[in-house]
Amino acid sequence: MSADPHLLTGAYAADALTGIERLAFERHLDACLPCAAEARQLRAAAARLGAAVATPPPAALWGRVRAEVATTDQVPPVAGPVGRRFPSLLAAAAALLAAAAALLVVAFSVTALGLGLVGGPRRSERVADPVAAVLAAPDARRVAARAGGVGQAEVVVSRQRGRAAFVASGLAPAPAARTYQLWVVDRSGPRPAGLVEVPKGGRVTRLLEGRVAGSEQVALTVERRGGAARPTSEPVVVIDLRA
């Protein structure tokens, strides 16, 4: 490629480069931050062109996707019955396929697939499954925490399912002999909603235990290992689902 590579961001974003040119330009992107940023923005702009012509896929296609995904072994080993696991995974996936329909849900389905479902064998199947169900629920609503000391945190709540999931990134590990604990706070006070283990990388997707109607507050506190029956410290995150 003799031409100035900095001018190729547009052709790259529109996929107008040939395979070899694309590879060469991607190598350039690794080394050139301004080009990488511009390419990312132009790809986002191009994606809007794609979304503008979105149409729902035929129902039969969905059946084939479902069948193929069911035999795709990228998912961690399943302890429980396979048949019970896939429907809710596919619920998250359905949102992906209908990309134009519910972008918010898509964003979180992808996150769910990334963080919770393909995250590794350590994650409990019982937790991963309903998380996907909440994230992919048609009425899924996300409520972000106001800026605080702990990276980004939000709660995705589905009133329809009566469940909510806590999603965070950049969460620092809890101090030694301590653990994060989630609380759902309603008029009758706080009730424990589960302990949060922070994996390396600080990204957490955790289903809140118990039913959540969507009108409560969700709080995260630091407690002694094993958790507490009532919060004993000031919350590090408070997310008001009424907001």
Partner 1 sequence: MFGLVGRVVRNPAQAEEVTQEVFVELWRTASRFDPARGAARSWIMTCAHRRAVDRVRSAERAARRDDLAGRRDQGRPYDQVAEQVEATLEREQVRRSLDALTDLQREAVVLAYYGGYTHREISELLGVPSGTVKTRLRNGLLRLRDHLEVYR
Instruction: Give the total of residues touching partner 1 (CB under 8 A).
Output: 58
C-alpha pair distances (Å), 98 with each of 90, 94, 128: 12, 6, 22
Q: Which of 140/212 has CB closer to partner 1?
A: 140
From the CB of 151, what's the least distance to partner 1, in Å? 11
From the CB of 232, what's the least distance to partner 1, in Å? 33
Asked if 100 interacts with partner 1 (CB under 8 A), we say yes
Asked whether 54 and 100 are in contact (CB, 8 A), the reply is: yes
In the block, residue with structure tokens 């193929």: 68
C-alpha pair distances (Å), 142 with each of 95, 139, 158, 216, 237: 15, 10, 9, 13, 15
Binders of partner 1 among 118-177, rule CB under 8 A? 118-119, 169
Stretch that binds partner 1, among 68-76, 132-140, 192-200, 229-237 (CB under 8 A): 68-76
Paired tokens of 159: 């009133």
Q: Pick from 33, 53, 147, 177 the residue near partner 1 by CB under 8 A.
A: 53
Q: Which of 154/223 has CB closer to partner 1?
A: 154
Alpha-carbon span 18 to 25, nearest angstrom: 10
* Site map (CB under 8 A) of partner 1, residues 173-212, x = contact: ----------------------------------------
Q: Which of 76/214 has CB closer to partner 1?
A: 76
Stretch that binds partner 1, among 65-73, 158-166, 177-185, 217-225 (CB under 8 A): 65-73
Q: Which of 127/228 has CB closer to partner 1?
A: 127
Q: Which of 168/219 has CB closer to partner 1?
A: 168
Q: Pick from 32, 110, 198, 222 the residue near partner 1 by CB under 8 A.
A: 110
Written as one string, the DSSP assignment of 121-140 is TTS-HHHHHHHHHHHH-TT-
Phi, psi (degrees; rounded to nearest 5) at 152: -115, 140
Alpha-carbon span 94 to 72, nearest angstrom: 16
Phi, psi (degrees; rounded to nearest 5) at 211: -80, 145
**By C-alpha distance, which of 210, 212, 220 is closest to 139?**
212
C-alpha triplet 229, 232, 234: angle, nearest 5°: 130
Asked if 217 interacts with partner 1 (CB under 8 A), we say no
Q: Pick from 29, 91, 117, 220 the residue near partner 1 by CB under 8 A.
A: 117
Alpha-carbon span 76 to 66, nearest angstrom: 17
* Site map (CB under 8 A) of partner 1, residues 9-48, x = contact: xxx-xxxxxxx------------------x-xxxxxxxxx
**Three-state secondary-structure class, residue 134:** helix
**What one-letter code names the amino acid at 5?**
P
Asked whether 206 and 196 are in contact (CB, 8 A), the reply is: yes
Binding site for partner 1 (CB under 8 A): 3, 7-11, 13-19, 38, 40-58, 60-61, 64-65, 68-69, 72, 74, 93, 96-97, 99-100, 103, 106-107, 109-111, 113-114, 117-119, 169
